[in-house]
Structure 1
Amino acid sequence: MLFKQNSCPSEQSGVRLFECRQEAFGVQLNCYAFAAGDVLIDTGSHSLRRHFRPFIDEVNPELVMITHHHEDHTGNASYCNSKGIPVLMNPLFRKECTEKANYPFYRRMFWGKRPAFQSGTLPEVIHSGRDVFKVISTPGHAADHVSFLNESTGQLFSGISTFLLKRKLYCGKRAYLPSSGRSGTFLRMTSTRCSVAMQGM
């Protein structure tokens, strides 16, 4: 088999983390999804669907929230559509996601060809069961990137690397932030207090 795949489910602070790894040509890439209460955050890549879809079935979320449109985060959103699970995302690239995916070959090789999917627009605050998620605009890694702060638990979910210092959150990929979004994203992230940071790649 050209690609070596494996999955590693775990749980931290009541949140289920599903991590998949794909390796080829000496390169290893990771892909993530989180289940918090009745919510699924991101859906993994289409190339790893045989791992992510059973996890989605097991979690059986009432709602899917997408951190950004990249194919390793939205690869199974169409599967959620087929199960009647609402998918919400930043509307910036929503139209592109309703169309046939078009991105470079090296990304298709690792993440597969993301099927088109339908989504609604993320509101500023999402109520799900006992959880209240605040949607925080954090462009940089992707122009449409958002993070989710569970105000009920203090958990912060991000599709990019972050780190905590004295209960404040800092953006771990600051070098990739374009000048147009750098200062605003950094200020929003450093002013966000959270107890636990859950991060994707």
Structure 2
Amino acid sequence: MDILEHITAVQREVTRTGETASVLMRRSYQAEIEDVWDALTDPERMARWFSPVTGELKVGGTFQIQGNAGGEIIECEPPKRYKVTFGGPTSLLEVRLTPGPGETTEFELEHSMEGPPAPGGAGALYVGPGWDGAILGLGLYLAGELTTDDDPTEMANSPEVVRYNEQSIYAWIDVIRASGTTSEQDLKATIEIAMAQYVPGKTPPE
């Protein structure tokens, strides 16, 4: 895959209000909104590009991502948006879809964390690269570039995706610095943690 093309296809923002830090990601997909919504909410399809998800997938119900976080479904407006808690009551994830020109869909993901595990906007490095990987997987799936033999977990650990993760971290570093939401010292500490998680064995950038 063209790593740079997928990295630049995503618009990233980091904001901070008091003790709440938020990441906002946008990307266009070459697919109709109903198809994108179905890929985001149908457990059988989600397992093809993301991970197995179980639970009572309706407002008031709960979900659990295999080997990852779970939460409660707070709001759902098919095929436009849903909002859930993600890993805790003060960690909120909202996904929004709007029709784009032609047969395209504008995708937005916003993840807000109150008192994130890193000070200020540096907390974006705990979640941003992971969501980049999910947005990549969804894009490959919608484009028909994943087969029934492809395993999302194996793909996540492939050398190509690890290189993608590295470029994602660099992109987030630039966005966090531009946002002015954290100190350079806190950012540096978080970079080391993110590199160890997403690009093991790689020396963190200066």
Same fold (TM over 0.5): no
Of Structure 1 and Structure 2, the greater helix share is in 2
TM norm structure 1: 0.31
Of Structure 1 and Structure 2, the greater strand share is in 1
**RCO greater where, 1 or 2, for CA within 8 Å and sep 6 or more?**
2
TM norm structure 2: 0.30
